[in-house]
Amino acid sequence: MIRSLTNEKIKHVLKLKDKKYRQEYGEFVVEGTHLIEEAIAFGLCKFIFSLTENSPYPVETLQVSIEVMKKMSNLTTSPGMIAICSIQVSNALTDKILILDGVQDPGNLGTLIRSASAFGFRTILVQNSVDLYNPKVLRSTQGGIFKINYREIDIEKFMNEHQEIHFIGTDLASGIPFSNVHATPAKIALILGNEGSGVQTTILNKTAYNIKIEMQDMESINVGAAGSILMYAFSQMKGI
């Protein structure tokens, strides 16, 4: 059983709390059996640290002390297991894409990934947003993370290079009411913006059209809620 924080494997996990190292090594850390089982199912679980000697999983496992587990964990109550997983980067684009321009709150990103997975928006492209592999985001995704393609992009450059995609912006100021939208092309990219300032104007100016969700006497709703409403509606909408 490992009791020392100077163990190389443990030091490696601690480094992965930092986005820079996650990118350098192409790895991130998940906590708890639910996320670990999802990672194993997708072939992305590389190594497990466990409080118990025997693990039920077919992955190399190292037993660690409670103190070491507490140091590795980002949770108030540290879980019985932590795993190192591979970051999977794919250039594939699904028909339905979610683009995020500056989403900052980890809970909002997690909610959006979870809903995107549920409603078939399996490619998520981001610019200036909170890191997907941030522990708070991972917890909110509830395993949705393993079902998506995720990449950081330059949104305007991507729009220029993908004229075949129908880009749909969200704009509380001058979007068309969403209930006016009754059908959708197959290849769409829904663009959601920052919690305070929304989608940048230079991006809104390049879309096919921009929409707003009709509201009664409120200025806005939470971006995770708004994105979920729109993705569900598009997943149910008839084609053009």
Residues that bind a second copy (CB under 8 A): 107, 110-111, 114-115, 117-120, 140, 142-144, 147, 179, 213-222, 224-226, 228-229, 232-233, 235-236
Closest to a second copy by CB, 39 vs 64, is 39
Closest to a second copy by CB, 10 vs 192, is 192
CB of 106 to a second copy, least distance (A): 10
Instruction: Tell me the two tokens of residue 210.
Output: 């921009």
CB of 107 to a second copy, least distance (A): 6
Closest to a second copy by CB, 164 vs 219, is 219
Q: Dihedral (C-alpha) 18, 57, 148, 89: value to the nearest 10 degrees?
A: 60
77 half-sphere exposure, CB direction, 13 A CA radius: 1
Residues in the chain: 240
Give the integer Cα–Cα distance in Å for 172 and 213: 8
Say how many C-beta atoms besides its own lie within 10 A of residue 162's C-beta. Answer: 14
CB of 163 to a second copy, least distance (A): 27
DSSP state of 116: H
Residue in the block written with tokens 């924080």:
5
CB of 227 to a second copy, least distance (A): 8
Closest to a second copy by CB, 116 vs 204, is 116
196 half-sphere exposure, CB direction, 13 A CA radius: 3
Contacts for 201 with CB less than 8 Å, ≥ 6 apart: none
CB of 111 to a second copy, least distance (A): 4
Closest to a second copy by CB, 61 vs 140, is 140
141 half-sphere exposure, CB direction, 13 A CA radius: 27
